[in-house]
């Protein structure tokens, strides 16, 4: 068995940073009671100025006069954690959540995603795209991967023998052992894990209880570690909140790209697609604005989702400034990827047809794209439909125009020359839409070929119904 551990050292900070446009301004997360505020996390430029985690806020303000403060929200951090678990679920069926880390069982995934170095690069590229700093390690047990990720980024240990060797130099304080045991061990002069492994088990059990021995066994894989596997939820819901108010629709584009990117990552994990989702724009007061995004077929490509949502959003007139945005997707149908021909002649950078249709629909309206299908009805008005279904087979033997007027109009101008006809269409008794007409092909004075009809047997009072264009 192989376990990969993705350690997320700055989960809370990355969660805050990814919802704002990239910038170099110092930013810190603060937590703690109002009297004793402390720095929970600081970004790179704030750290460069000397701020660090656990510092008193007053001390931080003395060091640096200008920085953005954001309240740390533990619940939001947990939400990001779950999102990453949903993303990791696409790579492995067994995903577990550790504090600040996601572990996944990868022995079977390696068959699918290639050898570990390639798989690791894949994970890193995804995490970078999602905007989370990370450290990755691979080990035969989940617990060991968790420990190694904390010490060496990018370490990969394949066999249990090598694992013992790799763990030996790691300091006891960083081996994620129970806190009181770690303290006791260092007081006994046991500094590295190698020394700990060499100690007799019975003595350790008497001295520290069974907890430590069990932890060592799990670390080395001598005893299986029980773990609750992550199961992705059936609906997707993500919310983003800002400290300032957004008044322009254009400014919503950046957070929207993040939200749709997260949705896409989640859907890829579930191997599902989405056909409808809702954007909820929250205002300072009053009810939120809802924007429903519907698509022709289920999709999950991040660019497609973003394009669709952006098109809908751009047509919106904001009644008030927006303080938060929520994306909710409840209906998640299975996703069938579109096949592409091996010998496709289209250019490689082509926008897929589905994406093009969605883009047009987003701007021109939901019903702007139609496909026409011939029906078996002989009446010209009902001979084609835009609804989906099976098209009639066979080709009409009688002359039929290429343009049709939606409602027939009187034919103006001098009397036309009759080229062909009459063709009597007399039918429609079954649904009350009876008609009795003689159709002719005529040539107008302007030289157009027209499809006209008149009352049976009359040859006058022409009604224009189509053009043989």
- The footprint of another protein (CB under 8 A) covers 346-347, 349-353, 355-357, 359-360, 363-365, 367-374, 380, 383-384, 391, 395-396, 399-406, 419-420, 441, 446-451, 466-469
Q: Closest approach of Cβ 129 to another protein, in Å?
A: 24
Considering beta carbons, is residue 88 or 302 the nearer one to another protein?
Answer: 302
**DSSP codes of every residue in 210-247:** HHHHHHHHHHHTSSPPP-PPP---SSEEEEEEEEEEE-
Considering beta carbons, is residue 94 or 358 the nearer one to another protein?
Answer: 358
Q: Closest approach of Cβ 430 to another protein, in Å?
A: 20
Q: Closest approach of Cβ 469 to another protein, in Å?
A: 4
Query: Hey, is 416 helix, strand or coil?
Result: coil
Contacts of 388 (CB under 8 A, 6+ apart): 371, 373
Q: Closest approach of Cβ 52 to another protein, in Å?
A: 51
Considering beta carbons, is residue 3 or 439 the nearer one to another protein?
Answer: 439
Shortest CA distance to 193 belongs to which of 218, 164, 157, 168?
168
Contacts of 395 (CB under 8 A, 6+ apart): none
Give dist(CA 413, CA 322) in Å, integer.
59
Q: Closest approach of Cβ 151 to another protein, in Å?
A: 49
Q: How many CB atoms lie within 10 A of CB 263?
A: 25
Considering beta carbons, is residue 240 or 464 the nearer one to another protein?
Answer: 464
Cα 59–Cα 62–Cα 64 angle in degrees, nearest 5: 110
Whether cis (ω within 30° of 0) applies to the bond prior to 425 is no
Q: Closest approach of Cβ 432 to another protein, in Å?
A: 23
Give dist(CA 311, CA 279) in Å, integer.
12
Q: What would the two tokens of residue 326 be?
A: 């929520």
Considering beta carbons, is residue 244 or 371 the nearer one to another protein?
Answer: 371
Q: Closest approach of Cβ 402 to another protein, in Å?
A: 4
Could you tell me whether strands 135-139 and 155-156 are parallel, antiparallel, or unpaired per DSSP bridges?
Answer: parallel
Considering beta carbons, is residue 47 or 373 the nearer one to another protein?
Answer: 373
Q: What would the two tokens of residue 74 be?
A: 């533990």
Considering beta carbons, is residue 127 or 454 the nearer one to another protein?
Answer: 454
Query: Hey, is 350 helix, strand or coil?
Result: coil
């Amino acid at each position: 068995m192989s376990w990969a551990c993705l350690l997320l050292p700055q989960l809370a900070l990355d969660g805050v940073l990814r919802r704002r446009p990239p910038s170099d301004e110092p930013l810190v997360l603060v937590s703690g009671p109002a009297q004793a505020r402390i720095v929970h996390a600081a970004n790179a430029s704030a750290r460069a100025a000397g701020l660090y985690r656990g510092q008193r806020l007053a001390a931080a303000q003395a060091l640096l006069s200008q920085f953005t403060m954001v309240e740390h929200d533990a619940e939001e951090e947990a939400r990001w954690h779950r999102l990453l678990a949903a993303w990791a679920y696409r790579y492995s069926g067994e995903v577990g959540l550790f504090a600040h880390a996601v572990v996944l069982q990868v022995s079977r995934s390696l068959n699918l995603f290639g050898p570990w170095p390639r798989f690791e690069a894949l994970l890193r590229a995804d995490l970078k795209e999602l905007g989370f700093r990370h450290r990755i390690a691979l080990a035969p047990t989940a617990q060991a991967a968790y420990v190694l990720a904390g010490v060496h980024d990018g370490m990969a240990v394949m066999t249990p023998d090598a694992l013992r060797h790799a763990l030996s130099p790691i300091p006891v304080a960083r081996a994620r052992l129970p806190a009181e045991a770690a303290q006791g061990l260092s007081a006994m002069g046991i500094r590295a894990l190698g020394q700990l492994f060499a100690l007799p088990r019975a003595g350790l059990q008497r001295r520290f209880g069974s907890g430590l021995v069990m932890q060592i066994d799990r670390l080395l894989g001598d005893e299986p570690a029980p773990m609750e596997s992550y199961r992705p939820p059936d609906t997707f819901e993500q919310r983003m909140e800002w400290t300032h108010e957004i008044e322009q629709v254009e400014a919503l584009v950046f957070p929207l790209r993040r939200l749709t990117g997260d949705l896409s990552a989640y859907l890829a994990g579930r191997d599902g697609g989405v056909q409808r989702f809702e954007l909820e724009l929250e205002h300072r007061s009053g009810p939120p604005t809802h924007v429903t995004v519907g698509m022709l077929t289920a999709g999950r490509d991040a660019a497609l989702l973003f394009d669709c949502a952006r098109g809908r959003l751009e047509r919106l007139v904001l009644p008030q400034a927006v303080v938060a945005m929520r994306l909710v997707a409840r209906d998640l149908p299975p996703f069938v990827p579109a096949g592409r021909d091996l010998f496709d002649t289209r250019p490689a950078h082509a926008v897929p047809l589905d994406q093009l249709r969605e883009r047009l629909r987003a701007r021109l309206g939901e019903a702007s794209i139609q496909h026409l299908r011939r029906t078996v009805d002989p009446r010209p008005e009902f001979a084609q439909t835009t609804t989906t279904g099976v098209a009639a087979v066979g080709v009409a033997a009688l002359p039929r125009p290429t343009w049709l007027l939606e409602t027939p109009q009187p034919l103006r101008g001098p009397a036309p020359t009759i080229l062909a006809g009459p063709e009597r269409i007399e039918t429609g008794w079954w649904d009350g839409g009876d008609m009795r007409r003689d159709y002719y092909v005529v040539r107008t004075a302007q030289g157009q070929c027209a499809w006209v009809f008149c009352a049976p047997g009359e040859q006058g009072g022409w009604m224009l119904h189509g053009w043989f264009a």
